[in-house]
Structure 1
Amino acid sequence: MSANNPLTRYCPRCIFVGENPVRCPKCRTVSYCSTECLNEHLSVHRPMCRSFSPREVWGIKILVNWNDPPRTRFPTEYFQHELVCAGHGSNIHPIFSRGELCPLTQRIGIPLRLYSTSGMHESSTFGPNEIAVKLRVEPRSGFAPTRWGLIDHPGECIVIREDQKPLTKELLEAIYSFVVYLMDYPGIDPEHADRESWAPWEGLLNPSLWHFFTRKYYEAQYRMVCRKNFNKFSPLLCT
């Protein structure tokens, strides 16, 4: 987040407004309401602690993964911070020309752009990627396009926010978990097709339900001993 962005007056850890903001002494890009919040948020901020540049975007590389049988690791354990070039010329990352917008994430107010690195012909990137496929589902059908099918092995994928603001591992896990939550809704999952629904599935794809779900999700994760990075969710994280 740029140091000149007015939203920097909101502390990224507690979301409160500080009277005397404390900037990260290294990157001078992110401001906190207090030194305590700065120190508590270091594990989230440190991997992206870098002076702001309009030519760079912090995204996430999603490593190959599969969920059958169900994973025992947290989704964030398949994420790696990825700095991509957003400038001009030959160094610009292909995600900006060949990446695809994730329409479901557009509906909830935080559009993501997804790119499969398998097209770069790196053998180490091949394999299934259930998390990326879930992010790419279409709002009307609840399924990803055929080219994103798990059988085609999209391999490692890179995802960025369309607004080019830094994407954290915690926020991406919450988005993925929200999609998984919606997949259990009648009319999408054939196993629950006989259950009575209280609203059209597409009607659930809105910022209000997303904010409600994610606030509860962050609280549930924070209660775990090993997940203190999920401190507090606010809609401000999506703007």
Structure 2
Amino acid sequence: MKKMEAKLLSYIVLCAMVVFFVSASDPSPLQDFCVAVNDSRIGVFVNGKFCKDPNLTTADDFIFTGLNIPRNTSNPVGSVATLVSVDVFPGINTLGVGFARIDFSPNGVNPPHTHPRASEILTVVEGTLFAGFVTSNPDNRLFTKVLFSGDAFVFPVGLIHFQLNLGNTYAVAFAAFSSQNPGHIDITNAVFGSTPPILDDVLTKAFQVDEDVIRNLQAQFRTDN
């Protein structure tokens, strides 16, 4: 009897784990499409958005234009990412996909960051990029590769990753995500630019530096200084 109870408990735990992992990514749609709209009078609320009446949907709902236009990279890091999520492209609602264009000035960098809800595939279309990601604790292994035009590199969900333009010309890459809302956490902005700021004692002990270094970094990344 005890063995049977133990097997039953194990089965329940296993089922719970399967449900947890499945629910950790975008759910599979139960219809062909669900074009997002903001008007509750003409749709049904699904996965955070109202669905447009399928009978009112047209081909225009499934097209996004403008990714051919170069972006302005005149900022301190020399790069800009144009994310196309469900908020700007309603046609991808419930489809579990998103994408982005990333422009790099010469020697520009897409700083270390994570996407908490999506894996990413990056494809270089112009220039040469140095790309990499770091595995989770306890190994913290660094995987890097030099990417040329036509090369693709994958960044597993949630892991810290980055890209650096190695060339003296502008570079462009396109990214595809396994979520309609992958999220973006810039490591330096999150740590040194949070509101309110993280306590100095936390950061000085974590980075093993004195308070002046921490305050200097916070002055660069805080927007309310």
Larger Rg: 2
Q: Which has the higher strand share?
A: 2
Q: Return the TM-score normalized by structure 1.
A: 0.30
